[in-house]
Structure 1
Amino acid sequence: MVRSFKAAAVLMGLILTDAAFAQSLDPAEMAAVGQYGERAAPLTVFERDGGLRVDGRSHADARLTPLGRRRYRIEDGGELVLEPVAVRLDGTRLPRHDFGAEVEAGIRAAVRADPQALRARALAATPPVETADHLPADLVDLASLDAPIRFDIRYAGSDNFMGLPLYERPAAYMQRPAAQALARAAKVLEAQGYGLLVHDAYRPWFVTWMFWEATPPEDHMFVADPAQGSRHNRGCAVDLTLYDLETGKPVEMPSRYDEMSGRSYADFIGGTTRQRAMRATLREAMVAQGFEVYREEWWHFDYKDWRRYGIGTQTFSELATARREPSASGRR
């Protein structure tokens, strides 16, 4: 059923495949999709419906018209020339940048100095005192849900912006109403040929403290202030993407997960038509089940009742022990 649904969608023009892109743009043009210049005011080259466009540096979603030899006329004025690792905008060379990777490299370099000391300080820190009444915590292991949900818990390993394991075990928990809503969203997406790939859900408060401490102030919009507590701490936030049920592979989105750059914004104009379509597919399914979009991160969704729960401090080892799981011997 999944295969026939997707085939029909392609025939009707509802899904633009990567092969369709290749027919419109050559490899060098597709490789030019990215960001150039300064991080504070980048030029974004992106693809839409088989053509290249630019946004930023006085240009607003402007179409590029080929002039030959990698030269393009910009719809709202000016000229762009594609180079292997840069572009020339009206003669000014703008180097290509992966701003997210650059921020991550800086954070990892600082954390490597003494990660154990950072963790010890976090565990010794005091969470904020909350005086409001909250609903009792009722965290559900998402692996117990009967839904097409897979897991790639990045903070249980080193494949994350910090570059080190933060959780003692790979697991994902959410408050029961949020978990049930997530299962409903997964069922809807299943009919479209996709499953949910969860990267993170409930997060102990001490990890939020580590994130804030390690992240440069200019990038604090990507991490929660531990003085206020994270939505993840309350068990109603989830970080996730889509995977293709036929191939089992994650779909491509406009940015990587946990990338600290403008590409991560939920309304980022760049990337490709298909990447933005997949982002919209995920968003529509989640919003329909009561989740709210988080502006700075396309992968982050908050269940509507997140404010009704208190800040959680239990580690994953403590949660496993409470549920009498065999893996409860993990150390922090």
Structure 2
Amino acid sequence: MTRRLIAALAGLAALAPTALLAFDLPPEPPKAIRQHIGLYGTPDAPLVVYEKDGRLWADGAGVKAQPLRQVTGDFYVTDAGDPRAILFGEGAEVGGLPVAKRDFGAETAAAIQSKVRADPKALRARAAAATPPAETPKRAADLVSLRGLPGVKLDIRYATTNNFMGVPLYERAEAYLQRPAAEALARAAQRLKAEGYGLMIHDAYRPWSVTWMFWEATPPEARGFVADPAQGSRHNRGAAVDLTLYDLKTGKAVEMPGRYDEMSLRSYPDFVGGTSRQRALRDLLRAAMEAEGFAVYPQEWWHFDHKDWRDYGIGNVSFSELAR
């Protein structure tokens, strides 16, 4: 992208609306509460322990969204006097039955990575030989770089090993969006500036061949978190972006209820778990993006689609080609 285009987008951001969002950041919960927050049990029957209004709450394993009252130490009961009292330790006991504390997302990622690392060259070769579905788009592609936009920084995980596949998938750490989506993103960043936050981009346009690799490597039970290459991804069209908030003072990403690209309940935008502070930051990100014409993906708090994503065709151009 030319310097003139960067300057034009930067100027647009400077003129963007700066209306404050209705936002009150809750405090961090004390360590005694925070240490018990998480997912327990199994993916099919999870127990969610979370913080709300400065208290521990539980939902699952026979307990229906109840606040917990501390009796002594790590022993809790529900306010309703539910006989399924909870005892925390290495995991938890609910009504005397043990339920292990689990990291479902990390477990799924480990299974995917063991498969991919067995022969990553073969996976890439098969992806390169595959053919994207043919389409007739309403609009011609006009991808522009997000690098250099005010209040926007890049943390492109797929150019590193720090992703659910465990191998680099992009040859360059770059992010591109269709021009209208990039302009809307710049306005969202300007809205967040008034709250002291910026936008950290993890991914935007994604070549179709990478979507093909995602689908091939992901087990069937987790494919709800990846796009079917037969339909193409919204990322392939250059009008979807994966992102989070970062603190403008420290430059560090904020803590959300779940990790980026985590394949678990914690990824849903309406997941009740985590802390009040984490949920408030997740909601702040969503409010800023929705105010500029983006919609959150139903299963991923970090994924936002621009309103015109359907107008663009599936792209498979590499980052090296875009850079040229």
TM-score clears 0.5: yes
Distance in 2 separating the partners of 1:263 and 1:252: 12
1:140 to 130, 141, 144: 144
The equivalent position to 2:102 in structure 1, one of 68, 80, 97, is 97
Distance 2:292 2:64 in 1: 34
Amino acid aligned to 2:282: R
C-alpha RMSD of the superposition: 1.5
Which structure 1 segments of 5+ residues have no match? 1-8, 322-332
* Residue 113 of structure 2: aligned partner: 108
Can you list the C-alpha shifts for 1:279-332, whole angstroms capped at 9, x where unaligned? Answer: 0000000000000110100000000000000000101111112xxxxxxxxxxx
Give me the whole-angstrom Cα distance separating, in 2, the residues matched to 1:75 and 1:53: 10
Show the 5 A alignment for 1:220-231.
Answer: 220-231=223-234
Structure 2 CA distance for aligned equivalents of residues 166 and 288 of structure 1 = 32
Paired position in structure 2 for 1:324:
none
Take 2:296 and 2:254, find their aligned partners in 1: how far apart are those partners? Answer: 19
Give the structure 1 partner of residue 38 of structure 2.
34
1:46 aligns with 2:50: yes
- Alignment map for 1:282-297 (pairs within 5 Å): 282-297=285-300
Query: How far did 1:66 drift?
Result: 1.2
Q: Residue 16 of structure 1: which of 3, 21, 26 is its match?
A: 26
Partner of 1:118: 123
Give SS of 2:99's match: strand
Rounded to whole Å, the distance in 1 between the matches of 2:54 and 2:23 is 13
SS at match of 1:233: coil
For residues 170 and 280 of structure 1, what CA distance do their matches in structure 2 show? 27
Q: Does the 8 Å CA contact 1:80/1:87 hold for their aligned counterparts?
A: no
CA distance in structure 2 between the partners assigned to 1:173 and 1:78 by the alignment:
54
C-alpha contact (below 8 Å) 1:32/1:82 kept by paired residues: no
> Secondary structure at the residue paired with 2:85?
strand
Q: Does 1:80 align with 2:90?
A: no
Separation in structure 1 between the aligned mates of residue 226 and residue 54 of structure 2, nearest angstrom: 35
C-alpha distance in structure 2 between counterparts of 1:225 and 1:75, whole Å: 45
Tell me, in whole angstroms, the C-alpha distance in 1 between the residues paired with 2:63 and 2:307: 37
Give the distance between the partners of 1:40 and 1:13, measured in 2 at CA: 34
1:172-321 matched pairs, under 5 angstroms = 172-321=175-324
Q: How many residue pairs are counted as aligned between the two chains?
A: 303
How much does 1:13 deviate? 9.6
- Alpha carbons of 1:106 and 1:13: their partners in 2 closer, same or farther (altered >3 Å)? closer
1:155: which partner in 2?
158
Aligned position for 1:56: 60
- Are residues 228 and 74 of structure 1, via their aligned partners in 2, closer, same or farther at CA, if it must alter by over 3 Å? same
| Aligned residue in 1 for 2:72 | 68
Distance 2:97 2:63 in 1: 15
Letter in 1 for 2:101: R
Structure 1 partner of 2:9: none
User: Match of 2:16?
Assistant: none
Deviation string, structure 1 residues 178-223 (Cα, Å, up to 9, x no partner): 0000000000000100000000000000000000000000000000
Query: Partner letter of residue 96 of structure 2?
Result: G
AA matched with 2:49: V
Specify which structure has the bigger relative contact order, considering alpha-carbon pairs within 8 angstroms and separated by 6 or more residues.
2
Give the aligned residue type for 2:36: A
Match of 1:4 in 2: none
The question of whether the paired residues in 1 share the 8 Å contact of 2:62 and 2:84 is answered with no
**Shift in Å at residue 159 of structure 1?**
0.2
Q: Percent identity?
A: 58
Structure 2 distance, partners of 1:56, 1:134, is 46
Conservation of the 8 A alpha-carbon contact between 2:152 and 2:198 = yes
The answer to whether the 8 Å contact 2:145/2:175 transfers is: yes
Mapped contact 2:238–2:309 kept (Cα < 8 A) = yes
- The answer for the alignment partner of 2:4 in structure 1 is none
C-alpha deviations, 1:45-90, integer Å up to 9, x for none? 0001110000123322211011113211124523333333211100
Using the alignment, how far apart are the partners of 2:137 and 2:106 within structure 1?
A: 41
Further displaced range: 34-43 or 60-69 = 60-69
The residue matched to 1:234 in structure 2 has which SS? coil
SS at match of 2:232: coil
Q: Is the 8 A contact 2:112 2:218 kept in 1?
A: yes
Give the letter aligned to residue 107 of structure 1.
I
Q: Normalising by structure 2, what TM-score?
A: 0.91
* Paired residue type of 1:17: P
